[in-house]
Amino acid sequence: MHRFKLFVTALAVAIVLLVTNTTAFAEQKIGLVDMEKVLNNYDKAKAAQADLQANQEELQKMLIDAKKQIDNAKSDKDKEKLQQEIADKITQKSKTFKENFTQKWEVVENNVLSTIKQVADSEDYTLVMDKQSVIAGGDDITDKVMSALK
């Protein structure tokens, strides 16, 4: 008899917890954003990517020119000196490019995230997730976010 009362009590507690959790989930409004689509279509993200591509091409050109200069050097000593100078120059240039891209990308990320938050707040979403992380459920707010970014 004692076990039966314990079982009934445990069952009642489980039902109360289940109903409470179901109600809490029912009150949540979940938004989904396709981050890949947003970033692929956002002008500032495209510009940052284009700058990165141009910088990579510039570094590639520097490497090709450096190889020609090194090949034309007269002595091994001149070649070593030239290799070191060029390596230092390319390393510095690469570091500068990376810092510039990082700064631009942080601006892009901050703009996108703040816009998502604005859309979520205005539409009363309690949770927003990346669409690629969700199998089913939620409202797709990607187009609203993209419109707000323009």
- What is the three-class DSSP state of 30? strand
Give the pLDDT score at 72: 86
51: phi then psi, degrees, rounded to nearest 5 = -60, -40
The Cβ-side half-sphere exposure at 22, using a 13 Å CA radius, reads 6
pTM for the model stands at 0.70
Q: What is the pLDDT of residues 47-76, one digit of tens each?
A: 999 999 999 999 999 989 988 888 888 888
Q: Which CATH fold would you assign to the domain 2-149?
A: Protein Binding, DinI Protein; Chain A (3.30.910)
Strands laid side by side in the 127-130 sheet: 127-130, 30-33, 139-140
Q: What is the pLDDT of residues 84-131, one digit of tens each?
A: 998 999 999 999 999 999 999 999 999 999 999 999 999 999 999 999
